Amino acid sequence: MSPAAIDPITFEVLRNAFSAVCNEMALVVAKTAYSTPINEGRDFAGTVYDRNGKLVAQGETDLPAFVGLTMLTVPEVIRAIGRDTMRPEDIYMINDPYVASTHCNDIHLVKPIFHEGTLVAFTSSTAHWSDVGGVAPGSLNCRARSHFEEGVRIPALRIYREGELNKDVLAILLHNMRESWERVGDLNAQVAAVKAGEARLQALIAKHGADTVLATMEEVQNHSERLARASWQSLPDGVYESSDRVDMDIHTGEPKVIRLKLTIAGDHAIFDLTESDGPAESGINCTIAATTSAVFLGLASILPPMPMNSGIMRTIEIKARRGSIVWAQPPVAISGLAATSMECTIGCVVQALSEALPERGAATPFSVLNTVFAGFDTRPEFQSSFINYVWGFGGLGAVATHDGANVAGSPYTASTQNIPAELQERRYPVLWRIYECLQDSGGPGRSRGGTGLRQYVEFPYVAGTISCIGDRERFGPPGIFGGREGATAGLVVNHGTEQARDIGIFSVNEPAGAGESITFWSAGGGGYGDPLEREPERVVEDVRDAYISLAAARSQYGVVVREIDRRQLQYTIDEAATATLREEMRAQR
């Protein structure tokens, strides 16, 4: 059946049904996975593909970063396994970062779907396993010089052959991963998910017919392509340039710069990253799959809403230099890319598109902060090793009409959830003391950047190690159209005491004794527009909410706020002093 022959009602029914299939796969994983980042944090995705491995649909709660990169995952599985050798009950596994993934923690399962002996589709489940081996518990090793220090690298292989588990391969993997019992639980959850997706697709085929379902899969992509081309045509043709910096290559101390030249020409766009820096000596290099996903995420953040699938990719071209920081080649290290080079690439795309579409533009958000406290829990009721994996939310970039969201997920992690402190305290030897918006962290602007997050965690019971990978410790998220950058991130052991140690956010296996603590905070989002144009009433409201201090109101916004009664949240604006101060600040520029 021709895609053009699909009637509008059937099209909408099946288009939404494909997303519903993905949502059910996500629900299966959330309800059955063992590890906390998956079942509570929702660091996963379920996706549906056509017979050629082209992305058809994603779930409404899927991790955005996985959707873009999985467009390379299934084609790589088809290439490596061979379409003619695939069988109905096969399930394939892959995490190879250099061809089809982000870092080694992200495990992809892919299941071929057959109807009457013919391959018709694929389902896939992707999830972040808490550990896949390597030097550091949690497998996020920013000091690594090669992927051999970061965990097990898995090429496309049959983990299930015609319905039978490949126990030998699984045994090898589990012998190289910490908390192997937890890894088995996560694997089984993903297996159940791709099978659930298959069952729902088979039900759709039984109801509507294979020809109709397959034609609609193609038309769904055609529909997104038309929407994307219309979006590009609505923008002014031209070249828009942007850049962003990863704080540093830990072994050289030098920042790594990502440079983008966006060319919009008619109904398509070219994202040229060829001028980006060469590879880093540490684990901050970005794989081409992650770079593709970053571009996908950046344009999804700015362009009008549309179903995100392979159809959109027909309207863009991504150029990158093989071996650069945005196209890592083995064996360079990549485990920290999700918090560094990938997020900076997203920032570059958002900056460039904001220049082309200012009314929908946004300043740069924070970069995710991944922190791991690991060790052996000696308490009698536990007596087991543990990996307490935590990510910190932070401030989003401001837009023309709104302040950036406070303590939210970045575009990369937008679907993840906060893991409740109470749950972590039940599962791990930690006590959460502070979880709060970080005052004065949002980038000043006519619209203020969102605030970062400050967390204070004690280790009262046992000793362990701390590892962390993040970014924005040296350079805050950039503002836009005159907005200022957000405040920077940080991590300190025993903050505020004589034993304080500033170990920073590029840390691996730092010792933490029983009774010690860590304080870590994420960056605030960049601001949008001139801070001196922000209405004084909005500045006072931010003071009442403790988003900014009295000093910041004066120094960042030129607003003189008088405190009447702090407990009653009573403040007033000294309008004459404010007018004078703002005039002086403008004159000093």
Q: In the prediction, which pLDDT does 90 show?
A: 98
Q: In the prediction, which pLDDT does 412 show?
A: 79
Contacts of 4 (CB under 8 A, 6+ apart): 219
Q: In the prediction, which pLDDT does 495 show?
A: 96
Q: In the prediction, which pLDDT does 257 show?
A: 98
Q: In the prediction, which pLDDT does 398 show?
A: 98
Q: In the prediction, which pLDDT does 416 show?
A: 86
Q: In the prediction, which pLDDT does 97 show?
A: 95
Q: In the prediction, which pLDDT does 233 show?
A: 97
Q: What pLDDT digit, counting tens, does each position of 453-463 carry?
A: 999 999 999 99
Identify the DSSP state of 528: B
pTM of the model: 0.94
Q: What pLDDT digit, counting tens, does each position of 272-330 carry?
A: 999 999 999 999 999 999 999 999 999 999 999 999 899 999 999 999 999 999 999 99
Q: In the prediction, which pLDDT does 391 show?
A: 82
Residue stretches of the chain with pLDDT short of 70: none
Q: What pLDDT digit, counting tens, does each position of 476-521 carry?
A: 999 999 999 999 999 999 999 999 999 999 999 999 999 999 999 9
Q: In the prediction, which pLDDT does 5 show?
A: 87
For residues 438-474, one letter each, b for 16 or more C-beta atoms within 10 angstroms of the residue's C-beta and e for the rest, the string is bbbbbbbbbbbbbbbbbbbbbbebbebbbbbbbbbbe
The Cα 163–Cα 183 span in angstroms is: 20
Burial class (CB in 10 A: 0-12, 13-18, 19+), 577: middle
